Amino acid sequence: MVTKHEHSHEHTKDVILCCEDLVIGYDGKPMLPPVDFQVRRGTFLAVIGRNGSGKSTWFKTLLGLLPPVSGRVYRSSPHVKSAYVPQTSGIDALLPVRAGELVRWGRMSGWNFMWPFGARGDRRAVEQALDTAGALPIAHRPYRELSEGQKQRALLARVLATKADLVLLDEPTAAMDAVAERETMKRLADLAHEHGLAVVVVSHDLRVAAESADQLLFVDRETRSVVLGDADTVFCHPAFRRQYGDEYCPRHPPSGHPRGPTVG
C-alpha cells in the first residue's frame, strides 16, 4: 500500500523545510513511497513507527546524512538555521563539561582567542536560553552528573542559544522515566509554539507523542506506508492498526476488525 500526502499552506513564509516527492532508502532501493509535505514555523512534528520501519533512515535523509533515492529535501531559504540534538547518550563521551559550557558551544561562531568567553550579547543569549529551557539551576553542574531529563534540558538550551529555526531531535526521551518524558515533550511543544521554531522529533512513545505533537508522521516499511496527520487520523489508519492493533484508535469497531479510513 502506498500512501502519498500533499499539503499546501496559505502562509508560505512560515514554511521552513520541504520534502518534494521524497523517497528514502539505501543504495538506490526505496524503503517507503514518495511523500510531499512541509514543516512550518511554530509546529511540532513527531515521527513514529516500529523498529526497522524507516524512521532513522528518514531522519538521516532530512539531516542530509543520506541522499534521497529520488525527490529532494530543501530549506525554504538559505538563511534557515537548523540544529540537531542527538540522544543524550551520544554526549556522555565528551570531555568533562558543565551544562552552561555545553550551552555556550551553541554560540561558538562568535568565539575568538582575543575574547574567549564571547561577547556580552552571547552571554545574555546563553543565560536566556538556559532560563527558557528550565536549565538555569543546573548551569554550573557537570553534564555527566545530570539526570536524563536535566541533560535534555541542557541540550535544548544549547539549541535555543544557536537561534535555530529548525530543530531535529533523535528520540530525545530515550532512557527517561515517564514523568521526565512527558515534561520534555511538553517543553518541546512549548518551544515550537511560543518561540516559532519548527521541531521534528523521532519518538518511540506513541501516546506521549500524540499528547504533545501537532502532527504525527507514521512510517511503515512492511506495508510501504507513510501517513501524516493528527493522532486520530494516524492511529485509525489501517496500516497503523495492522502494526499496533486497535487500542490507540478511539473509533475502532467493537469487533476489533480493521475498518479505519484510508488516508491519501
229-235 long-range contacts, Cβ below 8 Å, gap at least 24? 229/5, 229/263, 233/263, 234/48, 235/206, 235/210
Res 144: pLDDT: 85
Distance CA 47, CA 68 (A): 18
Residue 15 scores a pLDDT above 60: yes
Three cell numbers written together for 52: 526497522
Res 95: pLDDT: 59
Q: Where are the domains of the chain?
A: 1-80+165-264, 91-164
126 close to 107: Cβ distance less than 8 angstroms: yes
Strand partners, 44: 199
Instruction: State the pLDDT confidence band at 163, using cuts at 50, 70 and 90.
Output: confident
Q: Residue 106: what are its φ and ψ, rounded to 5°?
A: -70, -10
Per residue in 36-69, pLDDT (tens digit) is: 989 999 999 999 999 889 888 888 898 888 999 9
Higher-pLDDT residue of 95 and 132 is 132
Per residue in 167-202, pLDDT (tens digit) is: 888 888 877 788 888 888 888 898 899 888 999 999
Three cell numbers written together for 141: 553542574
Three cell numbers written together for 46: 513527531
Residue 255 scores a pLDDT above 90: no
Q: Quick one: what percent of the chain has pLDDT higher than 70?
A: 81
**CATH placement of domain 1-80+165-264:** 3.40.50.300
Res 47: pLDDT: 94
Distance CA 261, CA 232 (A): 11
40 close to 8: Cβ distance less than 8 angstroms: no
Three cell numbers written together for 250: 478511539
Mean pLDDT of 231-260: 79
